[in-house]
Amino acid sequence: MKVAIVDYGSGNLRSAHKAFERAVREQDLDAQVVVTGNPAEVASADRVVLPGVGAFADCRAGLLAIEGMWETLDEVVRVKARPFIGICVGMQLMAERGLEYGTWDGFGWISGDVVRIEPEDPALKVPHMGWNTLSQVRPHPVLDGIELGPDGLHAYFVHSYHLAARDRAQIIAETSYGGPLVAIVARDTVIGTQFHPEKSQRLGLRLIGNFLRWRP
């Protein structure tokens, strides 16, 4: 199995690479993890990881700057139906639109827009940064064996915008920060995490391992 982590100038690539390689070792999987900015290599991968750090528009521009990368990712998901995970802004790019400093089209794999966080408690600062537990909205294989709920494991978040998903059936987990925020989305062969699994210790490694074993 080849796992391609997309390098487009945005994302914590070193941490992501190390976390996925560690999950491969700990799960005793026969998998090769590569970091690549080559669309052909992404197209040939069995699983694809799209990280992302920063603003929606900047990450979008980074993908579009690599000839054929945007189209390759869309084909990987829509046509080839390969397992795909988007992380942080990589997850936000799965939405229909990003409304950060303008209006920008996303891939449209998940229904909804990426909008600024507006906590109900004005004392809560934006960005939302730190460790939070997750609450399950619906079962999904990537959550297998992960302790959820107020006494569960914590995930690491850092973001000012969130995906306001229109179809609740596409949400599998939420977190709370002055109101509910989408933490994980899923549809068909794709999932997306607003938090950083590569920085989320036990929860993150278990989720990555579940993704690598997932047979959608």
Grade residue 12 by pLDDT with cuts at 50, 70 and 90: confident
**60-108: pLDDT as tens digits:** 999 999 999 999 999 999 999 999 999 999 999 999 999 999 999 999 9
- What's the one-letter identity of residue 119? P
Contact yes or no for 177/117 (Cβ under 8 A):
yes
| E strand or H helix at 94 | none
Residues in the chain: 216
Q: What is the pTM of this model?
A: 0.96
**Strand runs labelled E in 56-170:** 84-87, 97-98, 104-105, 112-116, 128-133, 135-136, 154-159, 161-165
**142-173: pLDDT as tens digits:** 999 999 999 999 999 999 999 999 999 999 99
In the block, tokens 């969130």 appear at: 162
Mean pLDDT of the residues in the chain: 96
Phi-psi region of 90 (alpha: psi -120 to 50; beta: other; left: phi over 0): alpha
As a whole number, mean pLDDT of residues 11-40 equals 94
Contacts of 4 (CB under 8 A, 6+ apart): 34, 35, 36, 41, 42, 45, 47, 48, 49
Residues catalogued as catalytic: 88, 196, 198
| E strand or H helix at 175 | strand 171-176
Grade residue 11 by pLDDT with cuts at 50, 70 and 90: confident
Give the span between the Cα atoms of 210 and 198, in whole angstroms: 13
Contact yes or no for 31/24 (Cβ under 8 A):
yes
- What's the one-letter identity of residue 201? Q
pLDDT of 122 above 90: no
